[in-house]
Amino acid sequence: MSAVERLALRCLLPGFEGTEAPDWVMRRVADGLGGVVMFGRNVESDEQVRDLCAALHAEREDLVIAIDEEGGDVTRLDSRTGSRYPGNLALGATGDPGLTARVAAEMGARLAAVGIDLDLAPVADVNTNANNPIIGVRSFGSDPDRVAEHTAAWVEGMQGAGVAACAKHFPGHGDTSVDSHLALPVAREELRPFKSAIAAGVRAIMSAHIVVPSIDDQPATISHPVMTGLLRGELGFEGVAVTDGLEMGALTGARSLGEAAVLALAAGCDALLVGGGLSGEGVVDELVAAIVAAVNTGRIDEDRLTEAATRIDRLKIQPPSAVAARRAVHADGDVHVGGEATVIRLDSPSTIAAGDVPWGMADALAARGVRVGEGGRRVVIAVRDLHRQPANQARVAELFDRHPDAVLVEMGVPICRPRQARNYVATHGSARACADAAAELMTR
């Protein structure tokens, strides 16, 4: 698989059939698929979803697993029984944004417990057209200020539980009388709720397949003036721009699925969502081929593809422990490790307090796709409290004589950096979280 193919794959969030991940999904996850999206067809129970997410994350931990869990009429986890959470219109009717935040936090805790990373909610549309066939009770109401207030509260509650939120459908789907699943609606934008969501730190915003004539004559999802000029330029959004389902009639009624994907990326969308109506490996192959062809012909710049993929890589909300471990890692020199490495761990005695707990860099690097073994192109030397071990200091000197470009990773107190160690990492601890943080830095 080429580098451009891998970049294209990282921008896709496809759906699949069944309550277990098919073989093709697991292969694509291993290849670097950006994420997957779950639907009611993938859900039997919370326990089954937890097992499914665990299997997917075991294949690659940084995979983004998304779901449409709005509460109310649109639910996936409760698709067999009806949602246990009131929908947006009911929450808006309470007039209590604090209550909305608590309900979103309750929902977020459940999503986090089963392994979901991204909830494709809340709906931030203002229901200004009573004949709207697609929004209705999914909106917090018809007052833009109330909708904005509850949207921010919902985002804060969900993301406070550790699950990324996605405000939709930008720049506003509330003033339409056509269902974009079937045809192309025309609407006015209503930005107040999206501004509120951005101010609340929302991690993602979903585009709408609608035309806003005051801005452009193309659907928002494939409109550069909307997705880049307005969302990025005017509103200053720096998170992930997610498309609504690419197979929806508003987009693919007049163009192929692959062409819709190319136009969406060129417009400024990052994550390409597909799978509500189309699923299977062939869909992924079609999208990857179309994106690669567009890069090869100059329709999409490779830097745009890299930007989109990088945003998706940063989408997931990390627990405070991971954030702390990352911030603690200090590096100097060229510490990047490529596809293979020789990892040498120099033993150090355990303390009575710590006991015999596993430590080192081999497993953490292997978990990020590095082939660890003898003869690797890059040598990584892992030590712990080198200042207390004269024998290990001598061994490090010998290793640097043979491998002057080796990376020394100090996993104890970093007060003994050998003069030969041009490439040096200090993790400030040998916990697994510290090793994982160092491995992430070394494989970027």
pLDDT digits 0-9 by tens, 273-285: 998 888 999 999 9
- Whole-angstrom CA distances from 83 to 46, 72, 78, 100, 162 are 13, 6, 5, 15, 21
Rounded Cα distance between 288 and 7, Å, is 9
Taking residues 292-307, report their average pLDDT. 97
Residue 428 pLDDT more than 60? yes
Question: 252 falls in which pLDDT band (50, 70, 90)?
Answer: confident
- Which amino acid is present at 55? A
> Is the fold of 3-313 the same as that of 320-442?
no
Average pLDDT, the chain: 93
Q: Which CATH superfamily is domain 3-313 in?
A: Glycoside hydrolase, family 3, N-terminal domain (3.20.20.300)
Enumerate the active-site residues.
181, 244
For residue 169, say if its preceding peptide bond is cis, omega within 30 degrees of 0: yes
pLDDT digits 0-9 by tens, 202-239: 999 999 998 888 899 999 999 999 999 999 999 999 99
Q: Helix 23-31 vs helix 46-59: angle between axes, to the nearest 10 degrees?
A: 40
Architecture of domain 320-442: 3-Layer(aba) Sandwich (3.40)
Question: 186 falls in which pLDDT band (50, 70, 90)?
Answer: low
- Whole-angstrom CA distances from 430 to 324, 418, 440 are 14, 19, 15
Domain ranges of the chain: 3-313, 320-442
Tracing tokens 């970049």 back to the chain, one arrives at: 7
Measured in degrees and rounded to the nearest 5, phi and psi for residue 32 equal 115, 15
Position 187 scores a pLDDT of 56
Closest CA to 114 of 81, 65, 165: 65
Rounded Cα distance between 183 and 186, Å, is 10
Q: What is the DSSP letter of 204?
A: E
Taking residues 294-307, report their average pLDDT. 97
Position 99 scores a pLDDT of 98
Pairing verdict, β 423-426 and 330-332: antiparallel
Position 133 scores a pLDDT of 65
Question: 182 falls in which pLDDT band (50, 70, 90)?
Answer: very low
